[in-house]
Amino acid sequence: MKSTHYIYIVLLFLFISIFFSCNKINEVNTDINTSQDSLSKYLSLANDFSLPVKKRLENNQKAFAIIIEQPNDSLNKVNLFKVANRYYNMDNWYYFEETVNIVLEKSKLSNDTINIAKAFTYLGDYYGAKAVSDTAFMYYFKAEKMFIKLSDNYNLSKTRLNKALLQFNESDFSGSEISVFKALGVVKGEKANDIKYESYNLLGVIYNETGEYDRALVYQNRALASIDDKVIPSVFQSKATSLNNLGYIYQNLVKHKQAIPYFQQGLDQANLINDKPSLYAMLLDNLAYSRYKIGESRGLPELFFKSLKIRDSLQLTSGIILNKIHLSEYFASKKDTIKAIRYSKEALETARKSKNFRNALAPLKRLAIIEPKKAVEYTKEYIHINDSLQKADRKTEDKFTRIEYETDEIKNENSDLVVQNRNIVYFFSIITILGLFTFIIRTQKAKHRELMFKQQQQKANEEIYNLMISQQNTIETNRVKEKKRVARELHDGVLGRMFGVRINLDSLNTITDDMAIVQRNSYLTELKNIEQDIREISHDLNREKSELINNFVAIVNDLFEEQKKTYKLVFVPTVDSAIKWELISNTIKINLYRIIQEALQNINKYANANSVKIDIKKENDDLILIISDDGIGFNVKTAKKGIGLQNILFRANECEGTVDMQSNKGEGTIITLKVPIKK
């Protein structure tokens, strides 16, 4: 009986244990389900754009608190990336970087290559948003290498697009174009409509910036045609973006009537103001500007002010500056000079506060037009900033290629060191590398100082030339006005009075006194002589202006003389003496001088020519510049992407002129510039 009783007790104990164990399992499962439900809820609320940012941030932090306590598996990393995405959407860069670094560390611990690569792209996004382009590019490059090894074409293409956008923002248009085509090459033959849309759109923007408007139109239309609502969420407003870009190209082509329908269609897109208020403001400003340009007053200036209000609320610095420049143009056309100057000065002040010197160019250019008394001051500052930006662009051109090279070098060195596992070799390698870098840095610093001195000297000479041209025009204009005034006074005042005296004396000839008649006749003769002398003086004053030697020609001749002294090649310049330089605008003169200067520099450095010819002449209402050499030539299609030739194209566009470049390897080069002369 005791044994039976004991068995019952054991069975009862087992039954109770199983019962409580089951309850505990149910409780754990319930807790897990509750936790998952809460996580889903918090993530959803964190991405609800209708909620205040503070509320979304609180929900995202609650989601993070749940995820961080979970095991380090693939689902855990997916959820952490979701949290990071929401911080990105809130522009909360501190928590975004912190979350991404946590995912990266977890991925490295579990040797999760896919998520390591993904974390690198997120860090690239972070440093790109912080404008630390070198570091951003390095992370994209690391991610790109990993996606190649993983054969993950979609993410590889996306990463290359991120690189392209980064290069575009740094004004490396050539490098950006190459990266876009590499991204497209990866998904060739696949649907990937979102990749294709972003690629075509970026290519359109690149070609618009480089002035290749026909190609820009082709790629923007391709982008518009590739939009797939199933792949690209409507909240991104891709169609409105493409329509705005197409309209902007037509604006640059000065075809405002064709631009207006695109801006209007963009504004008609559903829910645009909520999804992308910045794009909505841009479309309003562009529509208002094109209407103003064709003389249509409907909705003006209210559309400009509506756009400006949105941009102010979003703190869109570049947009605010552009808006105020457009308002300045508009009020200048309405003869409201006070408002025109006010908005241009506000735009310049905003640009200076932003510390983005590129933003200051447009306000300075505008102020030089509407405030002629300070035109020299504004022009000087414009040239200084423009030259500095050009130098920075030249440095940027090869920066990203260098980063790729250095990143690969570091990776290869680390791999070798891991394989060899020799601390002594590693130590001496570092010492050697540091010594080499120290030597290179010192050498480069010396070369850099020498180069900077030469550039500053050249820049100072260029500024002197430009200021002389500008000041000479002002002096010449005032002198001519004064001479004309004197001529009018002589002709209308003195001659009129003397003519009256002659008439009075003539009437006295009726007196029969012989001596009086002889004397009066001698006075009349003398008065006629004085009258003739004054008339000749007034004519000479008017004629003198056209006979003066123009200062611009003298400056160009100085450049030609310097060329002849410095370089041994045969130099044949011809300047048409019939050109009336005083009738040609200062902008055309400055850009013409710069184009000649840039072309001669390129010939001296690269052409290996024996002779150079420069011909400046006037044909009908056009000013023609022809620069030809018998050098080695170059590939026009490839070289047009270089900074030097891009500068020539940009300056020609500033003068509303056209450039034709004809060159083949071994056959020399002919550059023809045609600029219309406004009457």
DSSP, residue by residue, 55-111: HHHHHHHHHHHHHTTS-SSHHHHHHHHHHHHHHHHTT-HHHHHHHHHHHHHHHHHTT
What is the pLDDT at residue 547? 41
299 dihedral zone (left: phi>0; alpha: psi -120 to 50; beta): left
133 dihedral zone (left: phi>0; alpha: psi -120 to 50; beta): alpha
Q: Which residue has the higher pLDDT, 215 or 366?
A: 215
CA angle 665, 668, 671 (to 5 degrees): 115
CA distances from 481 to 485, 486, 544 (A): 6, 9, 12
Beta bridge partners of 675: 623
Which residue, among 495, 521, 498, has the nearest Cα to 508 in the 3D structure? 521
Check: CB of residue 383 under 8 Å from CB of residue 463.
yes
Reduced to 3 states (helix: H, G, I; strand: E, B; else coil), residue 377 is helix
Q: Which residue has the higher pLDDT, 388 or 407?
A: 388
**Exposure b/e, 306-341, CB count within 10 A at least 16 = b:** bbbebbeeeebbebbbbbbbbbbbbbbeeeeeeebb
Q: Hey, CA dihedral for 166, 167, 171, 177, is it positive or negative?
A: negative
What is the pLDDT at residue 266? 92
Q: How far is it, in rounded angstroms, from Cα 344 to Cα 330?
A: 11
Reduced to 3 states (helix: H, G, I; strand: E, B; else coil), residue 1 is coil
Q: How far is it, in rounded angstroms, from Cα 364 to Cα 383?
A: 10
Q: Which residue has the higher pLDDT, 356 or 503?
A: 356
- What's the pLDDT band for 585 if we cut at 50, 70, 90? confident
CA distances from 568 to 498, 521, 563, 609 (A): 64, 71, 9, 10
Evaluate if residue 9 carries a pLDDT over 50. no
Share of the chain above pLDDT 70, in %: 75
The DSSP code for 492 is I
Which residue, among 600, 602, 618, has the nearest Cα to 674 in the 3D structure? 618
pTM of this structure = 0.52
CA distances from 660 to 42, 239, 409, 499, 644 (A): 61, 35, 42, 60, 15
Which residue, among 84, 167, 164, has the nearest Cα to 123 in the 3D structure? 84
Q: How many residues are present in the chain?
A: 679
The DSSP code for 269 is S
Q: How far is it, in rounded angstroms, from Cα 207 to Cα 104?
A: 37
- What's the pLDDT band for 22 if we cut at 50, 70, 90? very low
What's the maximum distance between 2 C-alpha atoms anywhere in the chain?
184
The two structure tokens encoding residue 458: 């050249």
Q: What pLDDT, in 10s, does the model give residues 497-552?
A: 566 556 656 655 666 666 666 666 766 676 676 676 676 666 655 554 444 445 77
Least confident of 11-20, 384-393, 507-516, 577-586: 11-20
Q: In a 10 Å sphere around its CB, with 0-12 CB exposed, 13-18 middle and 19+ buried, how is residue 393 labelled?
A: middle
Q: What pLDDT, in 10s, does the model give residues 29-61?
A: 444 455 667 888 888 898 887 888 889 999 989
**What's at 123, amino acid-wise?**
L
Which residue, among 115, 132, 117, has the nearest Cα to 80 in the 3D structure? 115
Q: How far is it, in rounded angstroms, from Cα 482 to Cα 486?
A: 6
Which residue, among 61, 43, 156, has the nearest Cα to 99 in the 3D structure? 61
What is the pLDDT at residue 6? 39
Evaluate if residue 468 carries a pLDDT over 90. no
Share of the chain above pLDDT 90, in %: 19
Between β-strands 622-629 and 611-619, what pairing exists: parallel, antiparallel or unpaired?
antiparallel
What is the pLDDT at residue 529? 65
Evaluate if residue 11 carries a pLDDT over 50. no
At residue 573, φ and ψ (nearest 5 deg) are -95, 145
Q: How far is CA 228 from the centre of its chain?
A: 30
Evaluate if residue 382 carries a pLDDT over 70. yes
Evaluate if residue 21 carries a pLDDT over 60. no
The DSSP code for 549 is P
Evaluate if residue 291 carries a pLDDT over 80. yes
What is the pLDDT at residue 30? 45
Taking the C-alpha atoms of 255, 256, 259 and 261 in order, what is their torsion angle to the nearest 10 degrees? Answer: -130
Q: How far is CA 288 from the centre of its chain?
A: 22
Check: CB of residue 571 under 8 Å from CB of residue 564.
yes
Q: What pLDDT, in 10s, does the model give residues 659-672?
A: 998 988 888 999 99
- What's the pLDDT band for 202 if we cut at 50, 70, 90? very high
Evaluate if residue 85 carries a pLDDT over 50. yes
Taking the CA atoms of the chain, what radius of gyration do you get in angstroms?
Answer: 37
Check: CB of residue 143 under 8 Å from CB of residue 120.
yes
Average pLDDT over residues 451-455: 70
Least confident of 85-89, 97-101, 550-554, 592-596: 550-554
Beta bridge partners of 573: 614
Evaluate if residue 17 carries a pLDDT over 70. no
Q: What pLDDT, in 10s, does the model give residues 120-175?
A: 989 988 888 887 888 888 898 898 898 899 888 888 888 988 888 888 888 888 88
At residue 610, φ and ψ (nearest 5 deg) are -95, -30
At residue 355, φ and ψ (nearest 5 deg) are 60, 20
In the Cβ-directed half-sphere of 543, how many Cα atoms lie within 13 Å?
6
Check: CB of residue 236 under 8 Å from CB of residue 271.
no
